[in-house]
């Protein structure tokens, strides 16, 4: 009787150990999840959708699973600083200058322009200096725009918006002389507005060319060179262009 009890206990222990080993083996095969933040307006654009798709492929090849979390711009910056999330999906090239806890992936995910929009097609804005004396607005948190504007204006003299469609509406009603925004994002939101707004807004100049990059937090900063190399390889092989075409056709 004792022999059978010992045999049963040994068998039970063996089963439990096998289950534990299987569970640990399964857990070991699960990819680590990387959480990157982005703002809601940015994620609506085709370029940032491209970034999400491209980086999902790259992280998958590196045995990681990408999760994108949508956050307001100011909270997004705080979440990366505390390490609550692993980085930011898309930021401008010099974003790391004021956020030293982040590591830039040097190969840009795409390039873009900052443009000036007005309700007067004849208004001459060929440079940032030409904005002097005008009532100018921009979207709060877009540092690539703000950093330029505050070299010309006192920050309190600028009109900040949290919602680009609302800013475009105000511009179309002649309550603003100019709106300065990231071209691809502003254009995509502008064409979705009512005709009475679209017909009264003119893009009159590109003020700055920039590039957009992935920024990584401390936990995964060591991946930056590998991601940069993988992104460059995708561009050279034509796979980057193929993904652009796929997104256009969906």
pLDDT 10s digits, 208-224: 999 999 999 999 999 99
* 5 pLDDT above the threshold of 50: no
Looking at residue 25, its pLDDT comes to: 44
Looking at residue 247, its pLDDT comes to: 87
Same domain, 103 and 121: no
Average pLDDT over residues 17-29: 47
Same domain, 92 and 146: no
* 7 pLDDT above the threshold of 60: no
Looking at residue 48, its pLDDT comes to: 92
pLDDT in tens, 140-163: 888 889 999 999 999 999 999 989
Q: What is the pTM of this model?
A: 0.75
Looking at residue 158, its pLDDT comes to: 96
Looking at residue 65, its pLDDT comes to: 95
Same domain, 68 and 118: no
* 66 pLDDT above the threshold of 90: yes
Same domain, 131 and 98: no
β-strands 32-38, 64-70 pairing: parallel
CATH code: domain of residue 194: 3.40.190.10
Looking at residue 250, its pLDDT comes to: 74
Same domain, 123 and 140: yes
- Collect contacts of 124-131 with beta carbons under 8 A, ≥24 apart: 124/204, 125/178, 125/204, 125/205, 125/207, 126/205, 127/207, 128/152, 128/207, 128/208, 131/178, 131/180
Same domain, 99 and 157: no
Same domain, 91 and 159: no
Instruction: Name every residue whose Cβ is closer than 8 Å to that of residue 51 and which is 6 or more positions away in sequence.
Output: 89, 90, 109, 110, 212, 214
* 248 pLDDT above the threshold of 90: no
Number of domains, the chain = 2
pLDDT category, 44, cuts 50, 70, 90? confident
Same domain, 132 and 155: yes
Same domain, 129 and 166: yes
Same domain, 205 and 219: no
Q: Whole domain around residue 46: which residue ranges?
A: 30-111+211-249
Dihedral angle sign, alpha carbons of residues 104, 247, 168, 200: positive
User: Is residue 8 in some structural domain?
Assistant: no
* 53 pLDDT above the threshold of 50: yes
Looking at residue 9, its pLDDT comes to: 53
In 191-238, alpha helices (H): 195-198, 224-237
Same domain, 117 and 205: yes
8 or 96, which is more confident? 96
User: Is residue 12 in some structural domain?
Assistant: no
Same domain, 101 and 171: no
């Amino acid at each position: 009787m004792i022999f059978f009890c010992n045999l049963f206990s040994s068998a039970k222990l063996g089963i439990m150990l096998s289950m534990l080993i299987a569970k640990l083996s399964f857990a070991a095969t699960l990819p680590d999840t990387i959480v990157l933040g982005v703002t809601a307006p940015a994620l609506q654009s085709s370029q940032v959708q491209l970034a999400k798709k491209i980086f999902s492929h790259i992280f998958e090849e590196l045995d990681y699973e990408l999760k994108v979390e949508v956050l307001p711009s100011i909270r997004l910056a705080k979440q990366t600083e505390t390490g609550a999330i692993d980085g930011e999906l898309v930021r401008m090239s010099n974003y790391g200058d004021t956020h030293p806890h982040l590591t830039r992936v040097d190969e840009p995910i795409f390039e873009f322009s900052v443009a000036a929009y007005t309700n007067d097609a004849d208004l001459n804005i060929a440079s940032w200096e030409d904005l002097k004396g005008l009532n100018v607005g921009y979207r709060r948190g877009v540092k690539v725009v703000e950093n330029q504007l505050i070299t010309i204006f006192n920050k309190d003299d600028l009109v900040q918006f949290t919602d680009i469609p609302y800013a475009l509406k105000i511009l179309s009603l002649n309550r603003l002389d100019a709106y300065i925004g990231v071209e691809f994002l502003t254009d995509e939101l502008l064409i979705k507005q009512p005709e009475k707004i679209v017909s009264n807004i003119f893009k009159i100049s590109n003020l700055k060319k920039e590039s957009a990059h992935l920024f990584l937090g401390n936990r995964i900063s060591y991946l930056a060179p590998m991601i940069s190399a993988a992104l460059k390889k995708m561009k050279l092989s034509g796979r980057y262009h193929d993904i652009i075409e796929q997104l256009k056709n969906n």
